[in-house]
Amino acid sequence: MKQGVQRFGKFLSAMVMPNIGAFIAWGFITALFIPDGWLPNEGLASIQPYMLTYLLPILIAGSGGRLVGGDRGFLMGAISVMGCIAGVGGTDGQPMLMGAMLIGPFAGWVIKKFDQFMEDRMPAGFEMLINNFSVGILGMLVAIIGYYLIGPLMAALLAILTAAIDVLVNHHLLPLSAIFIEPAKVLFLNNAINHGIFTPIGAEQAKATGQSIMYMLEANPGPGLGVLLAYWAFCKDKMTKDSAPGAIIIHLFGGIHEIYFPYILMNPAVIIGPIVGNIAAIFWFTITGCGLKGPASPGSIIAFLSMAPKNKIFLIILGVIIATAISFLICSPIVRMGSAKGGLEEAQQQMKDMKAESKGQTVAAISDGAKKDAASVKKVIFACDAGMGSSAMGATKFRNRVKGNRPDLIVKNTSVDNIPADCDIAVVQSTLQERARKSAPNAQLVTIENFLADPALDALYIQLTTLDAPAKAAPAAEDAAENAAPKAKPVFDKNSISLKLAPVSKEDAIRKAGEMLVAQGCVEPSYVDAMLDREKIVSTYMGMGLAIPHGTTEAKGTVKKTGIVLTQYPDGVDFGDEKAQLVIGIAGIGDEHLELLGKIAEALEDEEVLEKMKTTDDVNWILETLS
């Protein structure tokens, strides 16, 4: 149940988080230009209602549609939410933020099911016509559902929730919400409750009154600041004590509240401090009539105060100080007298595991098949859709990681549909696990989100190296023969590298890499579309700021010669919830590209080399590093 709630919360926040910039713009326009704002301007203030009524719901619904149905899902969500908006009266009705969170994923699901139905039924030559008309017709139908059903339903629900909040405020019971808010934050539901629940209600209140206390319930940095100050002042463990000042800066000014979660996990009794501190702060904000003009995200003191009404800014600062002081006073004796369960590193690892669970990852890493002891495991297979890029990189990195303890272990990569029968453990992305089960029914199945940095890979490493592993032996004959065989080096020169590129969409970054492969004479132009199709199956984001797009299995016939290109985006390209600074396009014949992928994997082992590769403008250095 906990994992289900966390996944649901993660899904809600994933619809809102990519659009926080739009929320901030709306909040600033509200705070600055409304009649009682910092710089009253009737004309500029007129922008605000259109952003709240149309822009924000369209962005949220589009993001929800994309999560389920890809780019076509984004368009479906954007079309469909207009029905919800019209169904409640447009700018005269309630903001449809919650309606967008419902209809967007639904619209994405509709187009996804249609595309699956048409996958083997699409008549040649009619692809563009059918794709465009299907979105138009289905989008219209879902918009009609939104007009008559979802919009009015969500408006009624929002009215009920708003009325319930008003009752809590009028009876001075709202402060008790902190009893649930603070523990939920430590369980990584902070973004879900803030942007999935409080922001829609806050938007409705702000539309009517110009401000809302709902924006303050989760984002107040005071409760967490009190925890960190207590550890800085009274913790007996030197490493933890010395780490607190840096955490304070990150938490207070950077707004990254997750930084203090490990300090609570070290000693769970400490959670009492932020709970009571937030109760006191919410009570103060209630009796003084405080609220923010828009959402404070991230929860930095800078963002918190920037959304404050100018006549309430002093009272809001006092509220943050109250939360900090009470949290500090309660946490201090607990930190001084209590014994933390494990050190900071252990708590941070626990936090990492919990965060992985909140994203739907399984740290235990077993989806199917009995967990095998180390001595019985001889072959580990990393599998992706085509067996060309991401799995090859993952296998190389994991092989390098275990070879010191398990030189006898065979670690290879292949496509998910061709996992060999003698595989003991198969490592696949979670979206491919059903295909992996069919291909390797007797293997232990390890599911991951990316091939480079995943908690499940850490668990697998421990499983294979800390049990009754066999004594170190020479590499298996199968691998030795492969290593001895000469491999042709793929073409990789200055023309294969493009640095300092401006941020673009994921699709444009993939297309850029594909066009470079075409220019190198490695592939036919149709391979570029196959790279985009491959991305729709499962993300080629590897972790650690690296993505390796490549074509589908069916597109191998369009590969003329093996090639690899490297594109660098210092500011990052959005691959879902992650950013890739390095986008490496590949096209391989056989295993010719694996040697260079191995070099890249080795480079990733050195954090300084990896970070330099993400920002350098020295092409020669990259060539030398990967040669």
Residue type, 475: P
Our CA angle for 59, 60, 63, nearest 5°, is: 85
- Catalytic, out of 195, 251, 257, 550: 550
State phi, psi for 472 to the nearest 5 degrees. -60, 135
φ, ψ of residue 378 in degrees (nearest 5): -115, -30
- Give CA–CA dist 196/101, Å, rounded: 8
**Tokens matching residue 80:** 């469909």
Tell me the C-alpha to C-alpha distance, in Å, between residue 10 and each of 13, 67, 463, 558. Answer: 5, 11, 29, 39
- Cα distances from 28 to residues 17, 241, 338, 518, in angstroms, run 17, 37, 44, 46
Strand partners, 444: 425
Distance of CA 50 to the CA centre of its chain: 29
Distance in angstroms (rounded) separating the CA atoms of residues 259 and 519: 46
384 an active-site residue? yes
550 is a catalytic site residue:
yes
Tokens 């020479």: give the residue: 474
CB pairs under 8 A, 24+ apart, for 21-26? Answer: 22/51, 22/55, 22/56, 22/59, 23/56, 23/199, 23/294, 23/295, 23/297, 24/294, 24/295, 24/297, 24/303, 25/51, 26/51, 26/52, 26/55, 26/56, 26/294
Residues facing residue 586 across a β-bridge: 550, 564
- Non-local (6+) Cβ contacts of 76 within 8 A are 65, 69, 107, 108, 110, 111, 135, 138, 139, 142
Could you identify the residue written with the tokens 């083997």? 120
Annotated catalytic residue, options 290, 384, 423, 522: 384
- Catalytic residue set: 384, 550
